[in-house]
Amino acid sequence: MIRELKTFICVARRGTFAAAGQEVGLTPSAVSAQIRTLEDSLGVKLFDRTGRAATLNSAGQRAIPLAEEMLQLFARMGAPATENDFHGALRIGAIGTVQTGILPQVLVALKAKAPFIEASLIPGVSLNLLSLVDSGDLDLAIMINPPFALPKDLRAEVIAREPYVLITPKGVRGSDPAQLLRDHPFIRYDRNSFGGRSVTQFLREHKLSVRQALELDELDAIVKMVRSGLGVALVPLAGLWLENASDVRIIPLKAQTFYREIVLLTRYQQRHAPLFNLFRTCVVDAMAKHSAQAPRLDLGN
């Protein structure tokens, strides 16, 4: 009956037997047969069927949280007696600032808790990592929260909010971000990236016209360009450059501060998997330590 419960939840989430079948690898008729078996066992109808759509009725709505609870209990039955009993592979995607930020701490903690896990790291930009998780080529990814709705079978949990600041070469005077952006060449965070779209939106909202000098996607490279005196930039407070932040001026945006959200992305059906939850615990612990050690900057909000 476990597979019928999984199919039931999938149909409820996807809205049609055909869409659910694509996710679980069954034909629509096989999905229909599983739902019929479940309904016969329970003695109630779970869906109102209109054309191709399958909408939960009142009995189905009551059944969903119970089905999820049963699947969680089933997953716990297969969990290892101790963390050290974990075996297998974990395919992790991460953006650049995560790779050089919290990820080493996360992997050290994971190795200590589950020494037999084989973790592989796949670097990439957020849009590419999203596609790899969606296709099943990655188990999870730590990336920037996309500025659009996720596919229904993906789940993102916000684990950090990173404020943007204006950075300038050391010799640049002035403290008004808007004026500095108007007066100096601008090194743009790639507008096609999730983080760069936030910069573009900020400039548009505040009607700021800039003189673009360069456009890059790599944050540490952007900071190097600013250090070299090529211009000013809007960047999040994240990355290796913070270890030598004294080489540039950091100017808070005060009340105009905007943020990028870092999320832990996985497929919806994996959210209760014991190995994923172990990794998530390592991420949360590393984030807490990182926040406690990070230098404080008065953002003026």
Give the model's pLDDT for residue 293.
66
How does pLDDT run across 119-132, given as a tens digit for each residue? 999 999 999 999 99
The pTM score is 0.71
Distance CA 244, CA 169 (A): 13
Residue 82 banded pLDDT, cuts 50, 70, 90:
low
How confident is the model over 90-98, as a mean pLDDT?
95
Number of C-beta neighbours around residue 235 at 10 A: 26
Coil/strand/helix, residue 245: helix
How confident is the model over 16-22, as a mean pLDDT?
86
- In the predicted model, what is the mean pLDDT of the chain? 89
Q: Which range among 3-7, 27-31, 124-128, 297-301 has the greatest average pLDDT?
A: 124-128
Give the model's pLDDT for residue 20.
86
Handedness of CA 210, 214, 215, 219 (dihedral sign): negative
How confident is the model over 139-149, as a mean pLDDT?
95
Residue 233 banded pLDDT, cuts 50, 70, 90:
very high
Cα 218 from chain centre = 18
